[in-house]
Amino acid sequence: MLKKILQATAAAALAAGVAAGAAQAQDKPVIAVLPKTIIGDIFQTNIANFAQAKGEELGATVEIFGVASHSAVEEQVSIMESLISRGVDAIILAAVDSRGLGPAVNKATDAGIPVILVDSGVEGANYVTVVQTDNVRASGLAADYAAALLSYSGKVAQLEGEPSSETAQLRRQGFHEGIAKYPDIELVTSITGHWTTPGAVDATEAILQSHPDVDLIFASSDLMAVGAAIVLERNGRDDVIVIGFDGITEGTDLILEGKAAGDVAQNARGMGEIAVEIAMQIINGEKSADDFPDFIDSGMTLVHPWNVHAYREAALGIPRPE
């Protein structure tokens, strides 16, 4: 569980700065972790949890700042500004907007604070590296799996994330390019579900109304896959296949319940732990920002009914049923 969760309004961020003296007095480096949001987003919460545990293991004080939603750009910028003023030792950022966070990232870098991005990149910014899934390749894998499930003929739809998110853009690109390889499969629509279950419920209802003959829905996040599954069950549409993306408990539950055929799993542990390790190497003077590549692939796994129990045990710590 998170030991320190600060809901990120500008006032909360500034208040945190007042309390920061205690951490600094311990002579421990302070690493700030800014997930996109920890409100209803299990994957982002997992990144933060793993980062915090690794930071404590390596002797750092890790502070976590979660904003109100995936669209709370100004809140995340305000937190960045506060952290820069405090002079924290490093920032690990999952940017809610691939453009809106650029100036804040550059300001931190100019102030000598290394910024390691996780899950999403930031356009035109000067940062150490981005640790994330190769979202184009991973969504392309979802397209290949979808094609195989449909015997290479049928109609598919995509539920996208927030349009301003680099992650959403890359998953859209990967799935669209992947499906385009199959001439007998039609991508009938691709609309945002805003990364959330309620957003996906609305979007899936719209898909079924406009394209009642859809055969498969690819949800760009597991929480959206849950929303799609709710609507399909409510409408008695067990003929429509669902594929999710994230690899969190909720997504793999859908596979076990027969409500999804697969899930492209990201590596939340890898993102959180690798980012902290990089931050500590720079803080300790072992390496400089120039020693790291621009992109570090944290890996992925295609989860399906035949490996779901093995994946849940290894990645989520959920024991296999006896």
> Would you state the pLDDT for residue 322?
79
Distance CA(102)–CA(123), nearest Å, equals 6
Predicted confidence at residue 26, as pLDDT, reads 56
pLDDT score for 314: 87
**CA-based nearest residue to 176, from 190, 163, 162:** 190
Helices and strands, number each (H, E), in the chain: 11, 13
| Residue 151, CA distances (Å) to 147, 157, 214, 263 in order | 6, 16, 15, 18
Which pLDDT belongs to residue 15? 44
Q: Which helix (H) or strand (E) holds 155?
A: strand 154-160
Chunked mean pLDDT (size 10), the chain, 322 residues: 38 44 64 90 90 97 91 94 97 93 97 96 95 96 98 98 91 98 98 96 98 98 97 98 96 98 95 97 97 95 97 90 84
255-294 as b/e: b if 16+ CB within 10 A: beeebbbbbbbbbbbbbbbbbbbbbbbbbeeeeeeeebee
Q: Tokens for 253, please give them.
A: 């539950």
- Report which residue type is found at 6: L
Q: What is the pLDDT of residue 41?
A: 82
What does the alpha-carbon distance between residue 105 and residue 273 come to, in Å, rounded to a whole number? 20
Which residue type, as a one-letter code, is found at position 319?
P
Q: What CA–CA distance (Å, rounded) separates 260 from 223?
A: 12
